[in-house]
Amino acid sequence: MINGCKLGLDVSTSCTGVVILDCNGKFVLGAAFDFKNKNKFPNMFSKAQKIDSFLQEIKSNYPIDKITIESALQMFRPGASSATTISTLMKFNGIVSWLSYKVFGQEPEFLSAATARKVCGIKIPKGTKAKIAVMDHLIKNESQFIPFIKYTRTGSIAPHVYDIADAFVIAKASLT
């Protein structure tokens, strides 16, 4: 078993990224749960059950001593999420936060994506999408992340890898 692992979660109702780092920041596990299939995941409770099962599995295999969850969006931005989307995301973030507390018996910490990126030294150039800048940074600076990158058959990075990358940044920022 590995001592003092950090659990990072990038919570979303469409795809949730999960990363475990050891106490030295070494990438131990990365996973993403794609919830876009409405037949398989018809509501946020079926999604929460999937997360709960995975958290139970993590608990039985890794000694988690810190849980960090990306803070839910809390404000409107022109052309971004609607009030309904933000409300749904905040509900799901709350459910996953509670499940984390219930499974591991510890309060999760919350970090905004911007703060986590800043702590990790990731700069987002003007006009660049954050997810692209994060992936570029990880590819250039975190060689341990590269083996976990999966590609589509057309050669582009699989969409779920971006959620794992965000969870990695959240977990990495928690080391400080």
DSSP string, the chain: --SSEEEEEE--SSEEEEEEE-TT--EEEEEEEE---TTT--SHHHHHHHHHHHHHHHHHH--EEEEEEEPPP-S--TTS--HHHHHHHHHHHHHHHHHHHHHHSSPPEEE-HHHHHHHTT----TTS-HHHHHHHHHHHH-GGGGGG--B-TTSSBPHHHHHHHHHHHHHHHTT-
CATH of the domain at 119: 3.30.420.10
> Whole-number mean pLDDT of the chain?
92
Number of domains the chain contains:
1
pLDDT band with cut points at 50, 70 and 90 for residue 79: low
The domain in which residue 73 lies consists of 5-173
pLDDT in tens, 107-141: 999 999 999 999 999 999 999 999 999 999 999 99
pLDDT band with cut points at 50, 70 and 90 for residue 75: very low
